[in-house]
């Protein structure tokens, strides 16, 4: 670690961020990933429409990054974007700690603790929207703190709030607590200033105009219908959720409508969620980290209640949602890692509480404590950025089996497969232009009655059909539909 006694804290922080980025860089997967990651890798370069809520800011930044970085595959460059956002999050975290009175040494070490949180680290090495979400959350917290202390103007807080919520709706959980600062700065409640702030708050949503333009482009490029859907949707250039309407698309209506029951929790559910969150916290930070986080909450209550107001309700809302989501749907969600970032912040303030209680040589104690947490994080990190269980036991890369599947398909045929399995094929088609004649369709292979209708329709229009079936040794196996029981 950098010796902050011999060089300035700013230089030490920059050098530490460089080391953090290198750690991310060397653990990045080199090429195509499955699932949503491959969707982002395939559609961002060509201006396709991503799944709800479209993530236009993420797509815009991705296209800029692809243009700036001239080396590596397109897939790798999109993944690299997550590492950049995660590194920037650690940097904003260091600034937030420093501004709130944490010692320079602990501010820098706190950034390391934040960056190497296993769940953040895993998000930093896949192509996903969540590292940008947590970066915007930290920027929102920093802007709120600065506004509270009269260091920035209301307009900056409003713009950052709009960027955060327009990128991911889950960040609306942080918005009410940020704008409670207006109760302290009542002079900013003049009509003209509030109107200007409201305009800046809503301005980032104009980025969704890009999605409308992209959708119109691909609908025009692929007129007609297949299986009752516009061809552009079947081919994957436009998200099938587009049919739900623009408002539902932007708000993730297809998800929020199906997950409305998540908020109807009872006491038993709450106990189960609390138990699950105890597991997540200790898995990411160890028991020591959990204890330090509790100490940080107490310290914030005594010294910086506004920071506690910013972080604690946000954590509770997202933790409740993500915990119950996993109970209902039995699948992981990136929301929970956003909530975990509050725990990382509290750990740093817990270390600061110890720092203030000791002097001289004894100040090595909080440094050793944070070092212990970091060692735990590194030791428990598992680089497994795969989305499907078959890949855990297979040495076949997504590029290899995606190329093999497309190459083996007959001309002008159709491949049906689950979402996580077909997206690497779409990357090879859209970005590297392999077999654009083959139509790759997302379909529920387990619904045999529905698949029978699809294959009958495929035969009616004179196309050969294949199923993309998971295989433990080969990643997936391309099987002609007529050979599938």
Q: Select from 119, 61, 158, 173 the least CA-distant residue to 344.
A: 119
Whether 390 shows a pLDDT value over 70: the answer reads no
pLDDT at 2: 43
Whether 258 shows a pLDDT value over 70: the answer reads no
What 3-state class would DSSP assign to 208? helix
Of the candidate ranges 4-18, 254-268, 333-347, 445-459, the one whose mean pLDDT is the lowest? 254-268
Q: How far is CA 217 from CA 45, 222, 278, in A?
A: 14, 9, 48
What 3-state class would DSSP assign to 480? strand
Q: Select from 22, 66, 20, 21 the least CA-distant residue to 40.
A: 66
Of the candidate ranges 135-149, 313-327, 417-431, the one whose mean pLDDT is the lowest? 313-327
63: number of CA atoms within 13 Å, CB side?
12
pLDDT at 474: 66
Q: What's the rounded Cα separation, in Å, for the pair 116 and 60?
A: 27
pLDDT at 389: 47
pLDDT at 131: 96
Whether 41 shows a pLDDT value over 50: the answer reads yes
Can you state the percent helix, strand and coil of the chain, rounding each to 5?
70, 5, 25
Tell how strand 465-471 and strand 225-226 pair up. Answer: unpaired
Of the candidate ranges 101-105, 185-189, 226-230, 279-283, the one whose mean pLDDT is the lowest? 185-189
Burial pattern 69-82, b for ≥16 Cβ within 10 A else e, equals eeeebbbbbbbbbb
Residue 21, number of CB atoms within 10 A of its CB: 20
| Phi and psi at residue 80, to the nearest 5° | -60, -30
Tens-digit pLDDT profile for residues 329-347: 666 667 788 999 999 999 9
Q: What's the rounded Cα separation, in Å, for the pair 233 and 461?
A: 18
What is the length of the chain? 485
Give Cβ neighbours of residue 134 (< 8 Å, ≥ 6 apart): 85, 86, 89, 120, 123, 337, 338, 341
Show the tokens assigned to 83: 């590492």
**Kind plus residue range of the DSSP H or E element containing 347:** helix 335-357
Burial pattern 30-44, b for ≥16 Cβ within 10 A else e, equals ebbbbbbbbbbbbbb
Tens-digit pLDDT profile for residues 165-206: 999 988 999 999 888 888 778 777 888 888 999 999 999 999
Whether 246 shows a pLDDT value over 90: the answer reads no
Stated pTM of the model: 0.93
Burial pattern 172-200, b for ≥16 Cβ within 10 A else e, equals ebbbebbbebbeeeeebeeeeeeeebeeb
Burial class of residue 87 in the structure, from the number of CB atoms within 10 Å of its CB (0-12 exposed, 13-18 middle, 19+ buried): buried
For residue 470, the cross-strand partners are: 476
- Give the confidence band of 254 by pLDDT, cuts at 50, 70, 90: low
Count each helix (H run) and each strand (E run) in the chain, helices first. 22, 6
């Amino acid at each position: 670690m950098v010796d902050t006694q011999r060089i300035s804290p700013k230089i030490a922080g920059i050098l530490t961020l460089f080391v953090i980025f290198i750690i991310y860089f060397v653990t990045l997967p080199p090429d195509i990933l499955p699932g949503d990651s491959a969707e982002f890798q395939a559609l961002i370069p060509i201006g396709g429409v991503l799944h709800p809520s479209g993530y236009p800011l993420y797509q815009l930044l991705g296209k800029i990054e692809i243009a700036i970085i001239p080396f590596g595959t397109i897939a790798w460059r999109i993944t690299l974007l997550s590492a950049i956002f995660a590194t920037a999050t650690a940097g904003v975290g260091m600034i937030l700690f420093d501004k709130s009175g944490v010692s320079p040494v602990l501010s820098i070490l706190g950034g390391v603790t934040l960056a190497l949180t296993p769940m953040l680290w895993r998000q930093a090495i896949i192509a996903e929207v969540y590292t940008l979400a947590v970066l915007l959350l930290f920027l929102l917290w920093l802007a709120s703190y600065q506004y509270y202390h009269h260091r920035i103007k209301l307009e900056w807080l409003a713009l950052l709030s709009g960027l955060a919520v327009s990128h991911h709706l889950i960040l609306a959980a942080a918005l009410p607590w940020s704008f409670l600062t207006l109760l302290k700065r009542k002079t900013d409640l003049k009509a003209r200033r509030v109107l200007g702030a409201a305009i800046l708050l809503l301005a980032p949503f104009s980025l969704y105009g890009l999605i409308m333009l992209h959708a119109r482009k691909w609908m025009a490029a692929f007129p007609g219908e297949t299986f009752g859907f516009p061809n552009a949707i079947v081919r994957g250039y436009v998200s099938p959720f587009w049919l739900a309407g623009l408002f539902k698309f932007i708000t993730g209506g297809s998800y929020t409508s199906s997950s409305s029951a998540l908020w109807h929790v009872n006491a038993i559910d709450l106990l189960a969620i609390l138990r699950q969150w105890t597991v997540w916290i200790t898995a990411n930070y160890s028991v020591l980290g959990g204890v330090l986080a509790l100490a940080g909450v107490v310290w914030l209550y005594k010294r910086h209640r506004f920071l506690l107001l910013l972080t604690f309700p946000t954590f509770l809302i997202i933790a409740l949602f993500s915990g119950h989501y996993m109970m209902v749907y039995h699948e992981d969600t990136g929301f929970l890692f956003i909530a975990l970032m509050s725990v990382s912040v509290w750990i740093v303030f817990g270390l600061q509480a110890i720092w203030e209680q000791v002097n001289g040589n004894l100040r090595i104690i909080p440094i050793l404590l944070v070092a212990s947490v970091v060692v735990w994080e590194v030791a428990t990190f598992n680089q497994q950025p795969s989305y499907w269980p078959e890949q855990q036991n297979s040495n076949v890369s997504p590029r290899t089996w995606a190329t093999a599947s497309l190459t083996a398909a007959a001309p002008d045929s159709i491949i049906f497969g689950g979402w996580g399995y077909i997206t690497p094929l779409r990357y090879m088609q859209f970005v590297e232009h392999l077999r654009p004649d083959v139509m790759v369709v997302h379909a529920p292979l387990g619904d045999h009655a529905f698949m029978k209708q699809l294959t009958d329709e495929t035969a009616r229009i004179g196309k050969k059909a294949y199923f993309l079936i998971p295989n433990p040794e080969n990643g997936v196996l391309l099987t002609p539909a007529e050979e599938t029981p």
